């Protein structure tokens, strides 16, 4: 007989998962003998979600979006792969990947609307408000429409949209 018991405990901000395994078997000889072996393992699980590794957005025209994102991001894709159900094009930005997904059976061709449940916007990090000013000038050079830099207590942002109307932002923390 195999019996597995799980216990959760919290210590130092981590949850510990105690796993107790009990193996029992009966060995029949002249006398009935019961032998038990016990083993205990503790595994630490962080209570804080790890950082975001990638974001993927669905676009209506991969060729148009690939050209636009390559121009605006200033980097070439690191992957262009047809997975079968969809094709994706991936850009690497620091340690985060940004994916563009194209589906042959796209459910809708409506432009993106952040007021619907789901994604609101994607923000790219800048070191300072001065860097936002530089980005505003770069977007102007590229012919990408954008809003004014908006300052708030939590930081400053510069908003713009991709060809599918997906809301994008360049964001800098407060000075």
- Enter the pTM of the model: 0.73
Do residues 15 and 8 touch, judged by C-beta distance below 8 A? yes
Q: Does 66 share its domain with 41?
A: no
Nearest one of 54, 55, 53, 59 to 162, comparing CA atoms: 59
Q: Does 71 share its domain with 92?
A: yes
Mind listing the pLDDT tens digit for each residue in 71-115?
999 999 999 999 999 999 999 999 999 999 999 999 999 999 999
Task: Look up the CATH number of the domain holding residue 37.
Answer: 3.30.1040
Q: Does 125 share its domain with 159?
A: yes
For residue 113, is it within any domain? Answer: no
For residue 34, is it within any domain? Answer: yes
Mind listing the pLDDT tens digit for each residue in 135-147?
999 999 999 999 9
* Count of domains for the chain: 3
Mind listing the pLDDT tens digit for each residue in 28-52?
334 444 444 556 666 677 788 889 9
Task: Look up the CATH number of the domain holding residue 171.
Answer: 3.10.180.10
For residue 114, is it within any domain? Answer: no
Q: Does 128 share its domain with 161?
A: yes
d(CA 111, CA 78): 26
* Full residue range of the structural domain in which residue 172 is found: 119-175
């Amino acid at each position: 007989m195999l019996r597995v018991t799980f216990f959760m405990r919290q210590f130092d901000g981590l949850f510990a998962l105690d796993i107790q395994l009990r193996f029992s078997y009966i060995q029949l000889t002249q006398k009935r003998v019961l032998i038990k072996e016990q083993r205990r393992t503790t595994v630490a699980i962080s209570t804080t979600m790890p950082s975001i590794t990638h974001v993927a957005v669905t676009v209506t025209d991969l060729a148009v979006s690939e050209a636009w994102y390559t121009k605006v991001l200033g980097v070439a894709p690191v992957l262009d792969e047809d997975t079968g159900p969809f094709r994706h094009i991936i850009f690497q930005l620091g340690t985060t990947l940004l994916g563009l997904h194209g589906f042959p059976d796209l459910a809708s061709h409506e432009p993106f609307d952040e007021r619907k449940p789901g994604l609101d916007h994607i923000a790219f990090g800048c070191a300072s408000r001065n860097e936002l000013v530089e980005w505003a000038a770069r977007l102007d050079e590229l012919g990408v429409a954008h809003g004014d830099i908006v300052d708030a207590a939590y930081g400053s942002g510069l908003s713009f949209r991709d060809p599918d109307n997906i809301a994008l932002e360049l964001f800098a923390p407060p000075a």
